[in-house]
Structure 1
Amino acid sequence: MKTILHITSLLVFFIISSCSSTQKITALKPEPDDAKPLVYETTTSFIKIPILIKLKDIENQTNKTLNGLIYEDNNIEDDDIEMKVWKLAPIAIENLNGKIKTVLPLKAFIKYRIGTDKLGVSLYNTREFNLNGVVTLISDVSLSNWKLNTATELKSLDWNETPTTTVFGKTVPITYLINPTVRLFRSKIERNIDEAIAKSMDFKPNVLEALEKICTPFQMNEAYETWLRVVPIELYTTDAKFKKETITMDMGLKCTMETLIGHKPATKFDKNKIVLKPVMQMPERITTNIAAVSSYQDASKIITKNFSGQEFGAGTKKVTVQNVALWHKNGKMVIALDLLGSLNGTIYLTGYPQYNEATKEVYFDQLDYALDTKSKLTKTANWLAQGYVLRKIQENCRYSIRPNLDEGKQSMMKYLKNYSPMPGVFVNGTIDDIQFQKIQLTNKAIIAFIKVNGDVNVTVDGIQ
């Protein structure tokens, strides 16, 4: 009987000993915070908007605007002439030493009378002429109040035939009589040309529509609801200049670019507040920011892989990490490690996310056990609470965001390769290497904010 009791006691001792070699921990879980969606405003940026206006577009629009009868004088009593002038054929426009040369083919109906009115008796000889001719006009170009303005001067009027009449049986040229009447309608033609060009070249609606498209928030990452919003501040423009068969001017949008996480934000574009300011030149480069978004789920998977096949401990007491989970609390990152080995259960670490520019990795500074976890480890597994074990674990609590940076860059590049938000408007540009700025946490993801230098051209090419 004593022998049986002795053997039973030894079995109980060994069972207790074997059970006590694998300890369990049930540390208090730090519950995640509701980190509100964030708004991050970047420094001031410039978007260069070169305006290229082809003379062919001006020609087309002017021909649409100026048609049919362009001058009419039905009173023959004041100067013995009645005249009607029509545009005969399409207007031709070209560059002449930095000015607009307009060639206007026209036809004229002219009624001219010769005679006298004496003692109440009218003795008149009235003749009618149908003439063809060409008017050449030269225009200076300027930019004012969103419009391409011209100051036009009629330089010449060449008739295709010399008008003549018969007086007392003789053929008499009357060009010397008709050409002075040009003074009567030259100002009318000049004004018509200026008004037609001004009307067709009011590019304010085109520019504002393009800006509205640019300033409408667009989604950079659908999964994590990342939006980029351009907020205009001022719009600048340089003087209009001729470059071969185009008129060029540079416009530049001074703005901020905000990265927002969450639902689609409202636009901050108000066309009534956009003022055009003249400047000598535009900045060549732009600075903007993009967001490299890493979900806690994706980051957890990567860090879990880092722990694969590794043991942590002291002496014969070792654990392996089976799974990693991340979330946010009080501005810190919580890292939950599911352990198996000499200690079973879940332990919690906290630290501040940081970024290593050289390796493009996110790591966690001031990493330590959560308060309740540390207390439990001190009592049950002090070997795991020791600093060198924590340092070994910390080495694996890191992950590269290089894929996220590349994804963010590619998201931007989609809008910089001849992207056309509307007919006649094209967006092109380049992006240099990206530079890290800061990390912020949301309830969904870790957001790494990246500064990007580059250039963006929004070209308005083709007037509809």
Structure 2
Amino acid sequence: MKFTVLLVFIIAFIVVSCGSSKKIETLKPVADLANPIMYDKEISYLNIPVSIKLKDLAYQTNTILKGLIYEDAILEDDNLMIKVWKQAPIEITDDKGKIKVVLPLKVWLKVRYGSNVFGMDLYDTRELNFNGVATLIGEAKFTNWQLSAKSNVQSVVWKESPSITIAGKSVPITYLVNPAMNYFKSTIEQKIDAAIVKSLNFQDNVLDALEEITKPVCVNESYDTWFKLKPISINATEAILKQDVVSMNLELACFMETFIGKPFEDTFNRDEIQLKQVSKTKDQFLASLIVVSPYLKASEIITKNFHGQEFTSGSKKITVEKVNLWHKNGKVVIALTMKGSLNGTIYLSGIPKYNIDEELIYFDDLKYVLETKSTLMKTANWLAQGIILKKIATYTKYSIKPELEVAKTQMEYYLKNYSPAKGIVINGNLAPIVIKNIQLTDQALVATISTTGKVALKIDGLQ
């Protein structure tokens, strides 16, 4: 009887022992110091052909140049007072590659005529109004952020010859009007050039737009993904006028980044953005975009991969409850917190690489950390076997396809009839996105992706 009770007790002890969980203690690899995220960046070059229709240039010029444009209020110096108004809208057209400006004029004159006889002033004055048209020709120039015409008055044609009636006779006064034209022409040229410069001052518009897009933008709330652009400089070619369209190329050099988790905002300094005049720009843009995946975010995603997965060997089974990642000596440490036949945390390490076909980041040469392997060999050899490790490796793969799609969608958004303002339209196309390299930092895994494409900006119907 005593033997039977003892036998039952031993069998029960063995069964309980075999079915209970074991607690393992493994040495945790110490993470590298958590310094700020630092990684190599590649400059993106966004080539933007710009075309401006002359009718839009005329529209803007007419809104600026209004009313009185010239006045000579002194009579005594040349026996002439004159006021000149813009009478009707200005027309701007292409004249063999030059800007032709036709300016309808309304002129008021006050003329003094007569002579001084024996010390007596025998003068009289007359006032008259007449109309004319001034024609100016200018070269389209783009310098220092501004489009200018460098206009010169070619002719002023009066609808009627300037004259006054004395004693019933028409007396031409062209000899009085023409000397004043030298001053008149110079003023008109300056007024027209100033209006064109003011109507298309790129600096404020471009810098305002750049300041806006340097602010981090959340492009995918589900993945907490943010896009950030940091401009460096802008190159511009000379303006070319052809078939009533002014064309030039702008090339923006910048850094482009996508963060998982909101990045820090940089203070935008307008004075740091340089405009350089160049003879030629690239015929397409090259975009190198940084995708920053903090280990904390990657840990959360991989933890979800393990949800509901069981790893078995005979009667032994475990599930992974939590995953943590960090950087150590050029590799990524993967900490798996488990429960089941074995309770505790084990540590693996591997080198992240990108599988272009599956669009996944995987960990090459994935192994148990040396101290972890030694512990498993002593207490849970079944878990140390390669077949279990291969199964685990399957769930440590990390997809950045959503981030790539977000990056592509974000760029394409600005390339499909994007209109930042009325009359301005941007169109373009992208080549497939390619992963160039993966870098490890103390806080994050950083992937550099690149793409090429073309983009064009047209100004049509500007208001």
TM-score by length of 1: 0.83
Using the TM superposition, give the Cα deviation of residue 169 of structure 1 relative to its aligned residue in structure 2, in angstroms: 5.3
**2:347 — aligned with what?**
349
Using the TM superposition, give the Cα deviation of residue 225 of structure 1 relative to its aligned residue in structure 2, in angstroms: 5.1
**Residues 216 and 40 of structure 1: CA distance in aligned 2, closer, same or farther (over 3 Å):** farther
AA in 2 matched with 1:246: V
CA offsets 1:112-160 (integer angstroms, 9 cap, x no match): 3443322123444544322111111112221222222222221222222
**1:296 — aligned with what?**
299
> Secondary structure at 1:286's aligned position in 2?
strand
Looking at structure 2, the residues matched to 73 and 345 of structure 1 have their Cα atoms a distance apart, in angstroms, of 97
**Residues 5 and 427 of structure 1: CA distance in aligned 2, closer, same or farther (over 3 Å):** farther
> Secondary structure at 1:365's aligned position in 2?
strand
Looking at structure 2, the residues matched to 404 and 367 of structure 1 have their Cα atoms a distance apart, in angstroms, of 24
Using the TM superposition, give the Cα deviation of residue 61 of structure 1 relative to its aligned residue in structure 2, in angstroms: 3.1
1:56-67 residue pairs with structure 2 within 5 A?
56-67=55-66
238-247 vs 387-396, which moves further: 387-396
Looking at structure 1, the residues matched to 321 and 235 of structure 2 have their Cα atoms a distance apart, in angstroms, of 52
CA offsets 1:275-302 (integer angstroms, 9 cap, x no match): 2211112221222214275632322222
The answer to whether the 8 Å contact 2:229/2:256 transfers is yes
AA in 2 matched with 1:275: Q
The answer to whether the 8 Å contact 1:418/1:427 transfers is yes
The answer to whether the 8 Å contact 1:319/1:339 transfers is no
**Residues 442 and 326 of structure 1: CA distance in aligned 2, closer, same or farther (over 3 Å):** farther
Root-mean-square deviation (CA), in Å? 3.4
The answer to whether the 8 Å contact 2:88/2:104 transfers is yes
> Secondary structure at 1:193's aligned position in 2?
helix
The answer to whether the 8 Å contact 1:38/1:260 transfers is no
**1:325 — aligned with what?**
322
CA offsets 1:323-382 (integer angstroms, 9 cap, x no match): 353112443332426364xx4434513122333233323333333334554344333333
Looking at structure 1, the residues matched to 42 and 291 of structure 2 have their Cα atoms a distance apart, in angstroms, of 15
Larger radius of gyration: 1
Looking at structure 1, the residues matched to 84 and 271 of structure 2 have their Cα atoms a distance apart, in angstroms, of 41
1:141 matched to 2:144? The reply is no
Looking at structure 2, the residues matched to 267 and 458 of structure 1 have their Cα atoms a distance apart, in angstroms, of 28
Looking at structure 1, the residues matched to 454 and 186 of structure 2 have their Cα atoms a distance apart, in angstroms, of 44
**2:118 — aligned with what?**
119
Looking at structure 2, the residues matched to 59 and 241 of structure 1 have their Cα atoms a distance apart, in angstroms, of 17
**Structure 1 residue ranges without an equivalent (≥5):** none
Using the TM superposition, give the Cα deviation of residue 457 of structure 1 relative to its aligned residue in structure 2, in angstroms: 4.3
1:6 matched to 2:3? The reply is yes
Using the TM superposition, give the Cα deviation of residue 418 of structure 1 relative to its aligned residue in structure 2, in angstroms: 4.4
Looking at structure 1, the residues matched to 195 and 139 of structure 2 have their Cα atoms a distance apart, in angstroms, of 14
Using the TM superposition, give the Cα deviation of residue 209 of structure 1 relative to its aligned residue in structure 2, in angstroms: 0.9
**1:108 — aligned with what?**
107
1:222-233 residue pairs with structure 2 within 5 A?
222=221, 226-233=225-232
1:453 matched to 2:451? The reply is yes
CA offsets 1:78-107 (integer angstroms, 9 cap, x no match): 433332222222222222222222121112
The answer to whether the 8 Å contact 1:416/1:427 transfers is yes
Looking at structure 1, the residues matched to 377 and 357 of structure 2 have their Cα atoms a distance apart, in angstroms, of 36
**Residues 164 and 324 of structure 1: CA distance in aligned 2, closer, same or farther (over 3 Å):** same
CA offsets 1:383-419 (integer angstroms, 9 cap, x no match): 4333454345445543544344334433443444445
CA offsets 1:300-321 (integer angstroms, 9 cap, x no match): 222446x45x63x3xxx44334
**Residues 103 and 426 of structure 1: CA distance in aligned 2, closer, same or farther (over 3 Å):** closer
> Secondary structure at 1:6's aligned position in 2?
helix
AA in 2 matched with 1:319: K
Percent identity reads: 37
> Secondary structure at 1:10's aligned position in 2?
helix
The answer to whether the 8 Å contact 1:35/1:441 transfers is no
**1:244 — aligned with what?**
243
292-301 vs 82-91, which moves further: 292-301
The answer to whether the 8 Å contact 2:241/2:247 transfers is yes
TM-score by length of 2: 0.83
Looking at structure 1, the residues matched to 368 and 201 of structure 2 have their Cα atoms a distance apart, in angstroms, of 66
The answer to whether the 8 Å contact 2:336/2:346 transfers is yes
1:90-239 residue pairs with structure 2 within 5 A?
90-124=89-123, 126-166=125-165, 170-175=169-174, 178-222=177-221, 226-239=225-238
AA in 2 matched with 1:435: V
Using the TM superposition, give the Cα deviation of residue 422 of structure 1 relative to its aligned residue in structure 2, in angstroms: 6.1
1:408-447 residue pairs with structure 2 within 5 A?
408-419=407-418, 428-436=427-435, 437-438=437-438, 440=440, 447=445
Looking at structure 1, the residues matched to 344 and 365 of structure 2 have their Cα atoms a distance apart, in angstroms, of 20
Looking at structure 1, the residues matched to 201 and 347 of structure 2 have their Cα atoms a distance apart, in angstroms, of 63
**Residues 392 and 117 of structure 1: CA distance in aligned 2, closer, same or farther (over 3 Å):** closer
**Residues 366 and 359 of structure 1: CA distance in aligned 2, closer, same or farther (over 3 Å):** same
Using the TM superposition, give the Cα deviation of residue 239 of structure 1 relative to its aligned residue in structure 2, in angstroms: 0.4
**2:334 — aligned with what?**
334
